[in-house]
Structure 1
Amino acid sequence: MQDMGFSCRIPCVKPLLNNRQRQKHLAWAKDKKVWTAAEWSKVMFSDESKFCISFGNQGPRVWRKRGEAHNPRCLRSSVKFPQSVMVWGAMSSAGVGPLCFLRSQSNAAIYQEVLEHFMLPAADQLYGDADFIFQQDLAPAHSAKATRTWFKDHGIPVLNWPANSPDLLSIVKRKMRYARPKNAEELKATIRATWALITPEQCHRLIDSMPRRIAAVIQAKGAPTKY
């Protein structure tokens, strides 16, 4: 296998996309391809994700050639909510906001409390009096009528976002790949410490790369990219 150019690697974890979802990703990317890095800097990105206590089980490996890391047959599909601690966080080109640890599965009412007590303070911290656009995924609590009313009442525009997009908090998960917390409290402490290490410069570089990410989605025709 090695003589044929293959090497044994751990599969990249990407959201599993069907053809319809890929077409939606492609249409969204084409709609946003004219956005500049300056325009993306006005977006506050948010995400919710669960963190596992064990980060050691990286699953089976795959045989692939150079340049095939993101070939669909070489990917391992990610699972959105595996187990353990649920975390909400937000970031912009100016840095990261405060983390929120959720005690239960988020519904519309709980999510609006997160927005009130964590998102609004993060917006003040990251944007001051400047206008911003809020990004969130399409979870039921986010798209609920009551939540849409909350955003309207607070005068906050929400960026349309395609389903099954890569997680923002995967940044933290990659940094915690070799962490070995023994319980939920140690896990929370590790997450907080890792989140605090993300610098404004790193956030700025990530936001600055959005035009390249959009171009990559278009080139991949809506399929997963190296990002």
Structure 2
Amino acid sequence: MGKTADLTAVQKAIIDTLKQEGKTQKDISERIGCSQSAVSRHRSGKSVGRKKCGRKRCTTRRGDRTLRKIVEKDRFQTLGDLQKKWTESGVETSRPTVYRRVQEMGYRCHIPQVKPLLNQKQRQKRLTWATEKQHWTVAQWSKVLFSDESNFCMSFGNQGARVWRKTGEREMPTCLKSSVKYPQSVMVWGAMSAAGVGPLCFIKGRVNAASYQEILEHFMLPSAEKLYGDEDFIFQHDLAPAHSAKTTGKWFTDHGITVLNWPANSPDLSPIENLWDIVKRKLRDARPNTLDELKAAIEASWASITPQQCHRLIASMPRRMEAVISAKGFPTKY
């Protein structure tokens, strides 16, 4: 039987018990799965832990704490920056050692999430808004018709594509990914509620107050009719200039539609943003090559969204309020 690792406390206790029962050294070793010499060393009191192999750790706990403070002071530093500042603090070490220590602390290098910049006033408004709405039920949120615009780029479906090639084929035409300076794109308006989604509107040109009111007239009202029928609803949109124009406000007043007050720079609070992400993920498989194909793929992806998906997103609204309150107005994971 080969050598084994150091005996555990349980194995040592078993050896003592079996020895008292009169078992032989061979029987004991077979019983606990170790060598006879390990049993003998334990019985003779010569069983000691193995000496640690490898090079001695070149940094101290105090030095490691210093590195942690350096990392937490600025999370966007490169490995070279961390090494330089750690050296300046009195710890001479290599880049690989810095990397290992950072890994030991639980840090991993990731692509950062991109969130809108929020100033103190905006964070306070988000916090106040979430506090006011924290007791809203899912039934109350189901009365809200969420809307938004999103831009879809022609090259979107090819982002992240990989190619199989051999050494020396880097510049081969069949292995190249084409790019254009100004790729074609389309702006889309849509609306959703707990009951499902409304019809899409493909926007031509820039959105101003007049064109936005046309969208409301020809697409928002049909969406509300489809999703709510004769029931009352609350309309939601963000604070884009066309949305917050006085003439747009008058349009809502004339039509007797209640508009939900909304904090600025808060896409994480709108569940329709999650639907746009779903559509864009599906476009990666569609890979449209023309503007008409892009529009067709968007419409097909939008039509495939089920009422169940929409209801789950609306049901997340109370949790979104809790997240904003916990984050004290800062961006959340949603």
* TM-score w.r.t. length of structure 1: 0.83
Q: What displacement does 1:108 show?
A: 0.7
Quick check: 25-34 or 110-119, which moved more?
25-34
Return closer, same or farther for 1:150/1:18 CA change in 2, 3 Å cut-off.
same
Is this contact kept in 2: 1:89–1:169, CA < 8 A? Answer: no
Structure ranking higher on relative contact order (CA contacts 8 Å, 6+ apart) = 1
Task: Tell me how far apart the structure 1 counterparts of residues 199 and 207 of structure 2 sit (CA, whole Å).
Answer: 18
Task: Tell me how far apart the structure 1 counterparts of residues 239 and 123 of structure 2 sit (CA, whole Å).
Answer: 16
Is this contact kept in 1: 2:196–2:310, CA < 8 A? Answer: yes
Deviations 1:109-161 (A, max 9, x none): 10111000000000010000000000011111111111111101110000000
The within-5 A match list for 1:29-68 is 29-55=130-156, 56-57=158-159
2:250 is aligned with what amino acid?
Answer: T
Is this contact kept in 2: 1:50–1:83, CA < 8 A? Answer: no
Is this contact kept in 2: 1:89–1:100, CA < 8 A? Answer: yes
Is this contact kept in 1: 2:279–2:302, CA < 8 A? Answer: no
The structure richer in helix per residue is 2
**Structure number with larger C-alpha Rg:** 2
Task: Tell me how far apart the structure 1 counterparts of residues 258 and 280 of structure 2 sit (CA, whole Å).
Answer: 33
Return closer, same or farther for 1:110/1:175 CA change in 2, 3 Å cut-off.
closer
Residue 156 (1) aligns with residue 254 (2):
no
The within-5 A match list for 1:1-227 is 1=99, 2-55=103-156, 56-57=158-159, 84-166=185-267, 168-177=272-281, 178-179=284-285, 180-227=287-334
Q: What displacement does 1:83 show?
A: 7.4
Deviations 1:187-208 (A, max 9, x none): 2122111111111011111111
**Secondary structure of the corresponding residue to residue 154 of structure 2:** coil
Task: Tell me how far apart the structure 2 counterparts of residues 11 and 195 of structure 1 sit (CA, whole Å).
Answer: 28
Task: Count matched residues.
Answer: 204
Is this contact kept in 1: 2:150–2:276, CA < 8 A? Answer: no
Return closer, same or farther for 1:7/1:181 CA change in 2, 3 Å cut-off.
farther
Task: Tell me how far apart the structure 2 counterparts of residues 57 and 9 of structure 1 sit (CA, whole Å).
Answer: 19
Task: Tell me how far apart the structure 2 counterparts of residues 172 and 189 of structure 1 sit (CA, whole Å).
Answer: 15
Question: Gaps spanning 5+ residues in structure 2: where?
Answer: 1-98, 161-182
The structure richer in strand per residue is 1
CA RMSD of aligned residues (A): 1.9
Task: Tell me how far apart the structure 2 counterparts of residues 187 and 10 of structure 1 sit (CA, whole Å).
Answer: 28
* TM-score w.r.t. length of structure 2: 0.58
1:8 is aligned with what amino acid?
Answer: C
Task: Tell me how far apart the structure 1 counterparts of residues 123 and 301 of structure 2 sit (CA, whole Å).
Answer: 32
**Secondary structure of the corresponding residue to residue 89 of structure 1:** strand
Please identify runs of 4+ aligned residues in structure 1 that moved more than 4 A. none
Is this contact kept in 2: 1:48–1:169, CA < 8 A? Answer: no
1:135 is aligned with what amino acid?
Answer: Q
Among all aligned residue pairs of Structure 1 and Structure 2, give the percentage whose two residues are the same amino acid: 68
Task: Tell me how far apart the structure 2 counterparts of residues 170 and 37 of structure 1 sit (CA, whole Å).
Answer: 17
Q: What displacement does 1:103 show?
A: 0.3
Deviations 1:170-222 (A, max 9, x none): 42334423343223222212211111111101111111111111011000011
> Which residue number corresponds to residue 65 of structure 1?
none
1:151 is aligned with what amino acid?
Answer: F
Task: Tell me how far apart the structure 2 counterparts of residues 83 and 224 of structure 1 sit (CA, whole Å).
Answer: 31
Task: Tell me how far apart the structure 2 counterparts of residues 49 and 108 of structure 1 sit (CA, whole Å).
Answer: 17
2:133 is aligned with what amino acid?
Answer: K
2:110 is aligned with what amino acid?
Answer: R
Task: Tell me how far apart the structure 2 counterparts of residues 217 and 9 of structure 1 sit (CA, whole Å).
Answer: 23
